[in-house]
Amino acid sequence: MKKEKNYTPLIWALSIGINLLVALAFFLPKMALPQGYDFSYIPHFNAVINSITFLCLLAAFIAIKNKNIKVHRRFIFSALVFTCIFLGSYLLYHFTMPSTKYGGEGVIRYIYFFILLTHILMAAIIVPFVLITIARGLNKNVPKHRKIARWIMPAWLYVSSTGVIVYLMISPYYS
């Protein structure tokens, strides 16, 4: 029997590094952009990428329910690639552009901040779990993979869908 590859050091390094970079993007001073550079399109781009991620995850879920492992893997890896593209563009935007303040008032303001807060918390928490789930799939440890995937797939779907919802709610306030 082939020995499982140990992805644990990589999973922890990526999980800590990603969350640290995202936190730094909000607390460090914004980098000055050379004249002519404008990244104001990135939030829209990120919403599109999050939508594609959501669709890939949904397709992966349908594929595995139909016991099509090959298609499931392709869609999961596609979702992971789109998530990485999102992360890169998200960091680029937040390291260089000022934060946009939400301008909604009343009940919708509370709804927005509830969705935003749960989105942020879930996004930070799921990073290592998504990577663990993928590692277990790569190692063909199906029982352990299934056990965690039952929780992580809905969480990842939630994060990708609420990313789009947050964008739609705040987009009228972009300058």
Q: What pTM does this model have?
A: 0.93
Domain ranges of the chain: 41-173
- The CA–CA distances, whole Å, from 38 to 17, 44, 93, 128, 146 equal 26, 13, 10, 32, 43
pLDDT tens across the length of the chain (175 residues): 578 899 999 999 999 999 999 999 999 999 888 888 889 999 999 999 999 999 999 999 999 999 999 999 999 999 999 999 999 999 999 999 988 999 999 999 999 999 999 999 999 999 999 999 999 999 999 999 999 999 999 999 999 999 999 999 999 998 7
Range 41-173: architecture per CATH: Up-down Bundle (1.20)
How far, in Å, CA of 86 to CA of 164, rounded?
A: 12
